[in-house]
Structure 1
Amino acid sequence: MKYRRLGTSGLKVSEIGLGSWFYGTGSESQSAVECIRKAYELGINFFDNANLYKGGAAEVVLGQTLKDFPRASYVLATKVYFPMGSGPNDRGLSRKHIIEQCEASLQRLNVDYIDLYQCHKYDSETPLEETLRAMDDLISQGKVLYAGVSEWSAAQIIDAVHLAKQLNLRPLISNQPIYNMLVRYIEKEVLPVCERQGLGQVVFSPLAQGILTGKYRAGQVIPADSRAANDSTNKFIASYLKDGVLYCVERLEKVAQGMGVQLPEMALAWVLRQPGVSSAIIGASRPSQIENNVKALEIELTPDLLREIEDILIEIDGFAPAW
């Protein structure tokens, strides 16, 4: 495993991280335990979660599994923003919701502190100062070590960085955006801004919800055991399932085959080529998927290969999934 600093902080995270957004109860819980253990065994130290995932069940299974390992050996990340109840204050980034949800996440994760606490979205209904002060207070209390954001625009990140400096608050160290070969909006503004301001990217969906595994083919029936066939995850994948996109994916797969590697490995190596990316967060339902994904760290994409890939990707420039 290889590790990178998260932004300009001193925190080091594995280049491949493990996400938990579809881990839950029952059979999902058992597969989650197997995947988390395999990830740790392979040197993955960055585990990402959110209070929203499976109504908190994902945090529970992650906490129960990681308790068998030394607390200092892994970096635990979770998020706050989305509704966790029906009340008017059970959502957003108000001080009340942040503090209460941090306490709830600590209990579900069964830990004394969260390494990276992230604002899951931007909250236009709460003053930015209130949000930043609440996060800073949690750090002062030792319940959180670092603060980050997720899917914030470049302008929102700049506002937060400048306000934190003005108020003498601890800086944000990360942003968690979607980023993969098919969705590249962060390259224009978010990446440059974050690199200047010292925020690292911990990107989610680096394999485009499984589209960049090559399992979906233009004009063919969706595999019955895939996420696209699952009602709970289909909404995230459906917009990718366009013939133009899938034809480009087939061409990318041929490039990977020419390199002697699998398409997912090449796709992850492509994401990690960006110096501003600290970690690519994968999702896995089987330990073997994690074993295959970490092989991406052995791949070096030459300038010629990057140009060949870019010639394919330029044909779908501007594609935007319904996220």
Structure 2
Amino acid sequence: MHICMDWRAVKFDWNKARAFLVTAEEGSLSAAARALGMSQPTLGRQVDGLEQELGIVLFQRVGRGLTLTPSGLELLEHVREMGQAAGRVSLTALGQSQAIAGTICISASETYATVLLPPIIAKLRLLEPGIRVEIVVSNQASDLRRREADIAIRSFRPTEPDLIAKKIGDAEARLYATPAYIEKLGYPTKPYDLRHADFINLDHSGMMMKGLNTLGLGLTEANFPLMTESYLVMWELVREGAAIGILDAFIGDADPTVRRVLADLEPLTFPMWLVAHRELATSRRIRMVYDFLAEELKRN
């Protein structure tokens, strides 16, 4: 089906179009409402309003989700192009700004946002009180091209050509447990001694177990009776003596309630990258904060 109408005669509301775009990409009104930070009824009214203005049906309900109609599919391509254009306009305008004062959005994982960033942001605010900081806490990579954040701290180097990145250093992830739990294990001294230990899993893919087994631990699924995708929940479980967890040694070594398990075991290493959009390099505010974070987070 081809949408045939005089677009010049349509009173087009970008807010409604954005509601349609995010709903289409998220697959449900509830997920789209969370992504946009608005209530589901408000989002639903915007989508309904767009359908009424255009005189077409955009979605069909399938179970608890939504599927696009042929008209919705055709419209999606046009609205997606509009969204990309709006993002480029925003990036260009921000990139040309020479003012230090203003808002900056920084994306980081739970542990880094909770432990590493607060003292750094406090120092930044003393130096530049005109800068307002928004911290996006997410264990998933924020999409900088869609302005989900201005700067992101990531554990991988971006491949997108329109992003710039600077390697801060390498982080070492080590095993931790409470002294009581280590005593319960009989003070292990070699990887094989952990064959009956309990670990806290952080993903369903098996990557954590695979990574630990490269160090000679020989673990199976039976060694992972606890599962959470939250690093903060994992760390609290470790502190309560429930099992062994893994964390950046920079953070783990600073916690007096836990100890390294197999202190001489080779750590799992991963890089730390500071990432921003290339067009933001001309913004004094973004550049200043980017360079400040790079210096403060630098790992020797």
Q: Normalising TM by the smaller chain, what interval?
A: under 0.3
Relative to the length of structure 1, the TM-score reads 0.26
If asked which structure has higher relative contact order (CA below 8 Å, sep 6+), I would say 2
Relative to the length of structure 2, the TM-score reads 0.27
Q: Which one has a larger percent strand, Structure 1 or Structure 2? A: 2
